[in-house]
Amino acid sequence: MVMVMLGINEGANSSVCVYDGGRIRFAVQEERVARKKEFIGFPHEALAFTLAHCGLTPKDIEAVCLSNLASPTVTRSAFLADYDDNLKSLGDLIGAGEGRAAAKRLFRRLPAPLRLTLRRARYGGMNQSIEEALAAHGLAGLPVNRFSHHSNHAASAYFAMRRDPDERHLVLTLDGGGDDTCATVHLAEGGRMTLIARTPFGHSLGQIYGRVTHLMGMTPHEHEYKLMGMAPYADPKYVAPALDILRGYLDLDPDDPLLFKRKIPEETGFIGRRLLRDFRRVRFDSLAGAVQAFAEELMVKWVRAAIARTGVTNVVAGGGVFMNVRANKAIAELPEIEFFDVLPSCGDETLPFGSVWQAAFAADPAANETIALDDVYLGPEAATRLDAARQAFAGRLSFDRQDDANGRIADLLAEGAVVARCAGRMEFGARALGNRSVLADPANERVVTRINKMIKKRDFWMPFAPAMTAAAAETYLRLPPSVPRPRLSPYMMHSFDTTDRRDDLFAGTHPYDGTARAQIVHPDTASDFHAVIARFGEITGRPVVLNSSFNLHGFPIVMDAMDACQVMCETEIEHLFIDDIHVTKKP
Ligand SMILES: [Fe+2]
């Protein structure tokens, strides 16, 4: 049975996908269409875009699959305000007339069963608003499937990354929280997932990491990777006492080490004032080092406990905390793990993949054999709005079609140029994987300064990343046996130690410890990008390029020709390729 279904994530980093015959045929995040980074809320613009772009009408769609049992209604500004409120005392909140924040704090003190009843009463209203949101797109009356937030994280990781549809897998999910849960362990086999452990909301490693990120003056739920990037700089001597404090917040449950359990009285989403008290005199790099070490230590313990309990050594993972590539590296290097992979862009943006796959499998278990993720180039073509872009920028940009665009890009990179590439279908998710990327020669140590000056304004301590041909992976990277072959790390979800050839990709490694969050580029899934790197290798003897996302600092990655031309005009970028069209600035 072939069904076309729509998957919708209506919460954080909201998104839409189209399912057909086991595969995700199209997917896009609201942030890309609406040009609002990390958008939280119903993805109205992405949904309208998807329906029009794919030529879908309501009669083509058999069902809509949502990403949560209870659709979140929080806005991004309310979400961030909660972090600030968290630093204030209850008395301060009441005194300042901030009744909503105070009520929320008091709500958390109610007994859990009463909270659940009150939440369920609220959920009814939320579901109603989803009906209205769907009706606005002509989708009223379609069957709506709801699966829980963490079952969607688990299903998306399992169906996309599993070694084989019939082998047994351990499926781990870990995030800040969703549908009253912040971590799960499933056993999966033949398409069927069985929940064996569920950590309820309030015992969340993700929340602790997010609250520390906020404490350090950065944006929670977005900038956690900046702490991860800073962590290697920290002196272990000063990390140790801060790590000890964090160990007092959360651990595995001594009665069941597949669960997390907090050791402090308040829930992990309410530790703002505790953090202020405990870390007031701790230097920023020591705290970054401590929270990263804490995350790695706890995740490794948890994974080991799950393997020890089940004896299953094929492990796949999803949920926002697994965006932490340094923790993934520590897990991948465990001696007892045989197979370990992480869903690309495993935050809430990929929840719809899990929901449509769960619905497809529930409708027909034979779908198990066809459900897979071939690659993540799932968005619109670069040439979308090309004619409009040519018209809008005719006075400022020249457009010259090239016979061998891949070769021309490689030549320019070898000459030391920085080249923006907007080609083929847009990558889905957080990482630019060559199709919406800014490329450069990573052996050129001045290139980081040049890219930062031209476009990125990246934080000074954050490394760039390399992309290399699959054939060159062993030359540059120390690859643990657990990282899957032949689909070897195409999505930048793993970090690796580098070999003594690291000077070839110097600007794409972490300057302090030489690790690299590498993209390994395969000719069958990214043929043109692979051809660029291979050609660059022929010229220079180094088949590796620096790959950074093509976006203005603080803005979403470009979606199509129009966005690409816009960013080019607002920056000092000199070379842009839209598919095989070389775009330059008119004098
Ligand atoms: Fe989540």
Q: HEC states along 524-542?
A: CCCHHHHHHHHHHHHHHCC
User: Ligand 1 center to residue 319 CA distance, Å?
Assistant: 5
User: Ligand 1 center to residue 9 CA distance, Å?
Assistant: 10
Strand partners, 548: 438
For residue 122, is pLDDT > 60?
no
DSSP run (H or E) holding 397: strand 397-401
Percent of the chain with pLDDT over 90: 83
* pLDDT at site 371: 96
Mean model confidence pLDDT for the chain: 93
For residue 72, is pLDDT > 90?
no
How far is the C-alpha of 453 from the C-alpha of 459, rounded, in Å?
12
Helix (H, G, I), strand (E, B) or coil at 24: strand
C-beta atoms surrounding 310 within 10 Å: 16
User: Ligand 1 center to residue 361 CA distance, Å?
Assistant: 21
User: Ligand 1 center to residue 502 CA distance, Å?
Assistant: 35
For residue 136, is pLDDT > 60?
yes
CA-nearest of 417, 426, 389, 421 to 405 is 421
User: Ligand 1 center to residue 221 CA distance, Å?
Assistant: 10
* Domain at 150-343: CATH architecture: 2-Layer Sandwich (3.30)
Task: For Cα atoms 340, 344, 348, give the angle at the middle one, nearest 5 degrees.
Answer: 115
Give start and end residues of each alpha helix (H) in 108-204.
112-135, 149-161
User: Ligand 1 center to residue 424 CA distance, Å?
Assistant: 29
CA distances from 488 to 316, 372, 481, 521 (A): 14, 16, 11, 9
User: Ligand 1 center to residue 79 CA distance, Å?
Assistant: 14
User: Ligand 1 center to residue 390 CA distance, Å?
Assistant: 40
CATH tag, 386-585: 3.90.870.20
User: Ligand 1 center to residue 350 CA distance, Å?
Assistant: 9
User: Ligand 1 center to residue 198 CA distance, Å?
Assistant: 14
How far from the centroid of its chain's Cα atoms is residue 150's Cα? 15
* Domain locations along the chain: 1-66+110-146+348-374, 150-343, 386-585
Give the mean pLDDT of 173-194: 96
- Residue 571 amino acid letter: T
Q: What are 229's two structure tokens? A: 């990037």
Note the residue count of the chain: 587
Contact 234, 285 (CB under 8 A): yes
How far is the C-alpha of 183 from the C-alpha of 149, rounded, in Å?
10
pLDDT digits (tens, 9 = 90+) for 381-409: 999 999 999 999 999 999 999 999 999 99
User: Ligand 1 center to residue 318 CA distance, Å?
Assistant: 9
Contact 577, 422 (CB under 8 A): yes
How far is the C-alpha of 205 from the C-alpha of 262, rounded, in Å?
9
User: Ligand 1 center to residue 248 CA distance, Å?
Assistant: 25
User: Ligand 1 center to residue 309 CA distance, Å?
Assistant: 25
CATH of region 1-66+110-146+348-374, choose from 3.90.25.10, 3.40.50.360, 3.30.420.40, 3.30.420.10: 3.30.420.40
Largest CA distance in the chain: 70
* pLDDT at site 125: 41
pLDDT digits (tens, 9 = 90+) for 333-391: 999 999 999 999 999 999 999 999 999 999 999 999 999 999 999 999 999 999 999 99
- Shared fold status for 150-343 and 386-585: no
Contact 487, 439 (CB under 8 A): no
How far is the C-alpha of 335 from the C-alpha of 419, rounded, in Å?
41
User: Ligand 1 center to residue 344 CA distance, Å?
Assistant: 14
Under 8 Å CB-to-CB from 168, ≥6 apart: which residues? 187, 188, 189, 312, 314
pLDDT digits (tens, 9 = 90+) for 483-517: 999 999 999 999 999 999 999 999 999 989 999 99
User: Ligand 1 center to residue 552 CA distance, Å?
Assistant: 26
User: Ligand 1 center to residue 5 CA distance, Å?
Assistant: 21
User: Ligand 1 center to residue 201 CA distance, Å?
Assistant: 11
User: Ligand 1 center to residue 351 CA distance, Å?
Assistant: 8
